[in-house]
Amino acid sequence: MEKIKVLIVDDSVVVRRIISDTLSTDPALEIVGIAANGHIALEKIARLKPDVITLDIEMPVMDGLQTVVEVRKLYPRLPVIMFSTLTERGARASLDALALGANDYVTKPSNVGSVGEAMQCLRDDLIPKIKALCGLPEVRKVIEKPRSTVAPVEAVKRSPVIRAGKKERVDVVAIGISTGGPNALAEVIPGIPADFPVPIVIVQHMPPVFTRLLAERLDSKAAIKVYEGAAGACVEPGHVCLAPGDFHMQVEGSGGSLKIKLNHDAQENSCRPAVDVLFRSVANSFGPNVLAVIMTGMGQDGLIGCEHIRKAGGQIIVQDEPSSVVWGMPGAVSRAGLADQTLPLGGLAAEITNRVSYGRSYAPAAHQAVRL
């Protein structure tokens, strides 16, 4: 099997060595070069033809953001994974890089006791992202294998199934998303009209600080209010609540007294927040009146939650493979036969709005003024 060729771009000798030593432990990966800044990286990309690059944000001569712009001009399909610090400045820069065309990001290990622990963090976070973005078949198979509580063997063998059952009225929209999520949400959420009559709750796999800044960015572009979830906050129609990094988010209550509950329980699917946690809670609180949306992302978080929503009688739509950065999460749900519909990214906002319109006297305004 041909190895994935990696180019490491970072001005720190220590960081380059840690990344190189970590990636070298995986037989599927090959380090083909290193570069201390973006200018050198562009020259080496042309010569070495890597399959993926890891790219630091703060570098002399040409920084990571400038490099992303140039890489996208010359190599529109080359996977780029940003390397940033777990700080507000690093988070803002990472979101800027994603908006400019980077595929994903990894935060530099912090507060770890040794180089060995730092390397383990990178094995757990960076290596799976490299493999997923490069479409390594074995990785996709492992990542996407459903951990279903209902006939898992049959589910993994089944072809995609589109269900056409009875529609119930939608009283909440729950979205699960991961790799490629910030840009995907930046397309979907601004497409939701200002008079949207139900709440939207979202789990995007992101660390603390990142989720708050993402919510702020989405809020600045959307016609509806977008905010990071807080314990005890009310779940209101026409508002979008994004789970905070490192906390599971649940919706609890009934009728007009629905509130956000946060906890720091163990990770699920190696994630906190986890989509499964949120989806189980909306299935419990809303029963058949849930519309679940699974969008681009690695792994299979949301699969078991979708089983709960399906069992409760709710609806499920998934993003299609061509428009997904990684089709792990939506692919797992699709192959398990749980999806009512599979749509490209550009069709999700309209379909969400249409399904929410069903069964209620609500017709979205033809022209929505941007919320001030």
Longest dimension (CA), the chain: 62
The yes-or-no answer on residue 10 being catalytic is no
3 state SS of 201: strand
Please state, in angstroms and rounded to a whole number, the distance separating the CA atoms of residues 323 and 337. 20
Residue located via tokens 């994974």: 81
**CB environment 138-162: b (16+ within 10 A), e (fewer):** ebbeebbebebeeeeeebeeeebee
Query: Which one of the listed residues 56, 63, 205, 334 is annotated catalytic?
Result: 205
Please state, in angstroms and rounded to a whole number, the distance separating the CA atoms of residues 6 and 30. 6
Instruction: Print the SS3 string covering 135-168.
Output: CCHHHHHHHHCCCCCCCHHHHHHCCCCCCCCCCC
Query: Which one of the listed residues 178, 281, 324, 334 is annotated catalytic?
Result: 178
Please state, in angstroms and rounded to a whole number, the distance separating the CA atoms of residues 18 and 150. 42
What token pair was written down for 171? 């009283």
Please state, in angstroms and rounded to a whole number, the distance separating the CA atoms of residues 370 and 222. 7
What token pair was written down for 51? 């399959």
What token pair was written down for 128? 């799976």
Helix (H), strand (E) counts: the chain = 13, 14
Query: Which one of the listed residues 56, 171, 276, 301 is annotated catalytic?
Result: 301
The yes-or-no answer on residue 367 being catalytic is no
The yes-or-no answer on residue 301 being catalytic is yes
Closest CA to 199 of 89, 73, 356: 356
Active-site annotation, residues: 178, 205, 301
